[in-house]
Amino acid sequence: MKYTPKDKALLLLEDGTLYEGYSIGIKGTTTGELCFNTGMTGYQEIYTDPSYFGQIIVNTNSHIGNYGVLDTEQESGAPKFSGLVCKEYSSMFSRLSADGSLQNYFEKYNIVGISGVDTRQLVRHLREKGAMNGVISSAVLDVEELKNILAHVPSMVGLELSSKVTTNEAYTLGEETAKYKVAVLDLGVKRNILKNLVDRDCQLKVFPANTSYQDMLSFAPNGFFISNGPGDPEAVPYAIETVKTILDHDHPTFGICLGHQMISLANGVKTYKMHHGHRGLNHPVKNLITGKGEITSQNHGFAVRLEDVQNNDKVEVTHVNLNDGTVEGIRVVGKKAFSVQYHPESSPGPHDSTYLFDDFIALMQ
């Protein structure tokens, strides 16, 4: 086999920290907020999750690309993240069922990345200093020029991104003869969430993020689902108002991730930017209603303020993170509405949290 030399690439963080490595994907330059995901598998699901829009992913798992890509493992139509940082990158794959290599996939979708980085050291740095913007480039290797590029990258705080990833037009999923009709507010929804609802005898109509309550009501739904998505939750006032109207009319309502934050904000509970967020497949959560623990999949850089929930008689905490005590779930008092910060559809090994979809179905009954 002929040896092919690797092109050099640089990763520059906004605090001036510089990493050298090798170019992966296409040759070019990309920017975004650096965040790390500790999942051992599921890199394609991560890259196609709309919640990662505007972010550069640092995969802590040491081998990326070794099992290729598969069309059925897409969480949306194409990769939504800004770029990749990893340690060992494989352009070859061993899975017989794969549709192709990760390298060809990145070339198809114009993804820029860097490999050969000590990701353990980088993640330790991000854990200590907090999430920050970065730039990856294999086209620009002048550090001063990269600093200038990085200076123009906006902070994730105050950034409205749901409009960048939502569907352009409403569409339906599921059978017309389904028992339940669910209106989905698409703020950046994952396909597997929709599949979990369809599998529970729901017909869905998925609406763009800026759809009004009245337009969603024209579907005559039995319930409303508020989806996950990217960006600062407080920067989506149009969706907050829509959710507030839905709750005012006491429809069965379920929110996941950004949807959880929308339901919180609609009830006067504020959110905040976390130091480095939760992104991985093994976050322990306690259900305060049942007393049971759940191993959960998570992907969020903002969270709901615990003190706001505790001082608000409209909502109450139902789930807490056992690592840091952050709010992982709420329910609206006196309403048929609840939400969780984590992703029950991801099922990282066990199916600890899929009961939440059944709870939503029960509300519609």
pTM: 0.95
The per-residue pLDDT for range 101-120, each reduced to its tens digit, is 999 999 999 999 999 999 99
Pairing of strands 327-332, 337-340: antiparallel
Distance CA 219, CA 2 (A): 59
Residue 278 annotated in active site: no
The per-residue pLDDT for range 11-68, each reduced to its tens digit, is 999 999 999 999 999 999 999 999 999 998 899 999 999 999 999 999 999 899 999 9
Residue 257 annotated in active site: yes
Pairing of strands 223-226, 253-256: parallel
User: CB 123: neighbour CB atoms within 10 A?
Assistant: 20
5 pLDDT tier (thresholds 50, 70, 90)? confident
Residue 73 annotated in active site: no
């056992």: which residue's tokens? 322
Task: Tell whether the model's pLDDT for residue 1 goes beyond 60.
Answer: no
pLDDT at 21: 98
4 pLDDT tier (thresholds 50, 70, 90)? low
Question: Hey, what domains does the chain have and what are their CATH numbers?
Answer: 8-150 (3.50.30.20), 162-364 (3.40.50.880)
Task: Tell whether the model's pLDDT for residue 270 goes beyond 80.
Answer: yes
In three-state secondary structure terms, 340 is: strand
Catalytic residue among 14, 257, 283, 319: 257
The per-residue pLDDT for range 156-206, each reduced to its tens digit, is 999 999 999 999 999 999 999 999 999 999 999 999 999 999 999 999 999
Catalytic residue among 45, 75, 294, 345: 345
Distance CA 332, CA 35 (A): 31
Query: C-alpha angle with apex 223: 222 to 229, nearest 5 degrees?
Result: 150
Distance CA 135, CA 248 (A): 44
Judge whether 102 and 69 are in contact, CB under 8 Å. yes
